[in-house]
Amino acid sequence: MSTTPYDLGTEKIGRLLARYAIPAIIAMASMSLYNIIDSVFIGHAEGGGSMALAGLAIAMPLMNISAAFGSMVGIGTAALISINLGEGKRERTFHVLGNQVMLNVLVGGALTALSLLFLDDILVLFGASGQTLPPAREFMQVIFIGITVNHLFWGLGEVMRASGYPQRAMAIMLLTVALTCAFNALFLFVLEWGVRGSALATVAAQMVGLGVEIIHFSSPKSFLHFRRGIFRMRRSIVSGIVSIGVAPFLVNFCASIVVVFVNRALAANGGDLFSGGYGVMNRVVMLFIMICAGFNQGMQPIVGFNYGARNFGRVVAALRMTILWAVGVMTVAFLAGELIPERIAWLFVKRDDPYADELIRISAQAMRIVMLLFPIIGFQVVTSSFFQYIGKARKAIVLSMTRQMLFLVPLLLVLPRSMGAMGVWVSFPIADAVATLLAAVLLWRQLREFRRVV
């Protein structure tokens, strides 16, 4: 069911959040399922196993860095569209859509050329060894060939949600997840294409999803749609997209750099199996983080529209409800990580793998420690995104940079020297606690500013 974005200023907040957040949660959880599906299939396929999972863990930072550029354009575009609609500037939103498409194509093409040229050097820098380099290379070669498809697919999905079609965006995402499963089964177990086949399954599924999105935006009946003249780059629009989108870019980029530090620290204090265990843990963590991101995306059009309309009471109401939901989800994550980590880890490992028991032990240990303070992470994740959605890019950047780079990286450099691999795991909850405290201070100041304006 579609809805006019102008309902964002009048309809009940709870109903709006349900309408926008539930499809977004399904979509973002599906995004995380891409990585989980790839890992599960690779872990059980011939030619896969523990070392292939470790290679995939080494490749993940590079894949996330490339995705960070797509997030910058996609989320920046969606937020700018919502703010412009709240200000009554609908005509401008068509040009924002056209500029997004052009940016995705330009950035995706540049990433493909540069990454394929220096792929092996980058993977070695990120911690690849003689055993993990081949599967990491095979996977990422295919991913980078299709990176423009990836950026367009996610970016147009963001715009579809922001322009009043959250259910349709969800349906397209579910279609691509189903196709990813089907293509993985075909390419790995029937055609036996190995790690490269799993990457190809992801790209092929996203090509189908992108095709459906293009059909939607080509229809004049859609609230926002393609039309002549909107594909000319405008400096003011591009700068607006980038200034808002730089915060999610830094979140993903810094998270990827952190993974590099983690993998290198684990390689020095444990070896490839510890990288594999971190990869398993990280995929589980990201599933819950993506659910919170779904709440954020449901909040985004509501907050952006009402902030543009200077209706700050509705902005605060949407923020409060989103925080409560996110804290609840991350509490579930905490319970899963503390109570059943071994059962979760078994999903990724072949029973006859010679390293299976050790990989399960490492993965379970990582989950129990890294997820120790997860109930408060929901608040921190929502608060960071909130500043981004109201155009407060500097505050969003501060929250994004401090948790990853100012707090976590120094801990990763210091603690493993005395605690080994345990020092890596312990670094995460310490950084989470300090970052959440900073988020609370910045949010309190912003809410006080709202009260002064009202």
Q: What is the mean pLDDT of each run of 10 residues along the chain (454 residues)?
A: 58 81 74 66 58 72 82 86 82 91 93 88 79 82 92 90 83 88 84 83 93 94 89 89 80 78 80 79 84 83 80 87 92 94 82 77 92 90 84 76 82 89 92 91 87 68
**What is the pLDDT, as a whole number, of residue 441?**
92
For residue 34, give the amino acid letter. Answer: Y
Dmax (CA) of the chain: 64
Rounded to 5 degrees, what angle do the CA atoms 378, 384, 388 make?
Answer: 140
pLDDT of residue 193: 83
Classify residue 127 as left (phi > 0), alpha (psi -120 to 50) or beta.
Answer: left
Question: Which amino acid belongs to residue 56?
Answer: L
pLDDT at residue 37 in the model:
67
Q: Which residues contact 235 (CB under 8 A, 6 or more apart)?
A: none
137: which 2 tokens?
């290379």
Pick from 195, 201, 69: nearest CA to 140: 195
Q: What distance in Å separates the CA atoms of residue 112 and residue 133, rounded to the nearest whole number?
A: 19
Task: Return the structure tokens found at 222.
Answer: 């859609």
Instruction: Single out the residue of 299, 326, 314, 281 nearest to residue 389, CA to CA.
Output: 299
Residue 45 confidence (pLDDT): 53
Predicted local distance difference test score (pLDDT) of residue 2: 47
List phi, psi (to 5°) of 151. -65, -45
Residue 138 near residue 58, CB atoms below 8 Å: no
Q: Is 399 in contact with 439 (CB distance < 8 Å)?
A: yes
Q: Rounded to whole angstroms, what are the CA distances from 147 to 67, 376, 402? A: 8, 34, 29
pLDDT in the model for residue 388: 76
Residue in 101, 94, 114, 110 with CA at minimum distance from that of residue 73: 101
- What dihedral angle (degrees, nearest 10) is formed by the CA atoms of 292, 298, 300, 305? -160
Closest CA to 156 of 241, 74, 66: 74
The one-letter code for the residue type at 125 is: L
Identify the pLDDT of residue 153. Answer: 93
110 Cβ contact list (under 8 Å, min separation 6): none
Tell me what pLDDT residue 5 has: 58
Identify whether the C-beta of residue 4 lies closer than 8 Å to the C-beta of residue 90: no
